[in-house]
Amino acid sequence: MAKETGRKLIASNRKARHDYHIESTYEAGIALMGTEVKSLRMGRASLVDGYAVFYGDELWLEGVHIPEYSSGTWTNHTPRRRRKLLLNRLELDKLLAATRESGKTIVPLSLYFSDGRAKVEIGLAKGKKEYDKRHALRERQDARETARILHSRERE
């Protein structure tokens, strides 16, 4: 069997970019069981309720739903189990210091295979207020409207 190359997106968390200001992003490996990998290769996962939290000095991913592998037997995994994220010590220390500040959290942004290995893109985030969400929505609508007007003028 040929080795996979490139990046294959499995799931993305579009809601995270709406609900949070993403300050920085990190690529983390993820410790998975065999049936989880097989389920991911089928393209099934949900990051919507996911978040990362420190237990001791290790970072764990919680709330991510990877459904059971349909052909699995008694070795199948629990869909919402806690999964360890694999980062180097310097990145872990930066994230630990940043999450100790008030209002900051770590959210998963996307789950993908990179050269055959499962990876999670996580973001250090600060929650948006309701008025921030409305303001961002208004800016996108204004930009879309401006682009539409400019495009129509080019045609004339």
What pLDDT score was predicted for residue 125?
Answer: 83
pLDDT in tens, 101-121: 777 888 888 888 888 788 888
Q: What is the mean pLDDT of the chain?
A: 80
- 3-state SS class at 146: helix
Q: Please name each of the domains of the chain with its CATH number.
A: 7-128 (2.40.280.10)
Model confidence at 1: pLDDT above 70:
no
DSSP, res 101:
S
Distance, CA of 119 to CA of 82 (rounded, Å): 15
Model confidence at 73: pLDDT above 70:
no
H or E segment to which residue 133 belongs: helix 130-155
* Residue percentage of the chain with pLDDT more than 90: 1
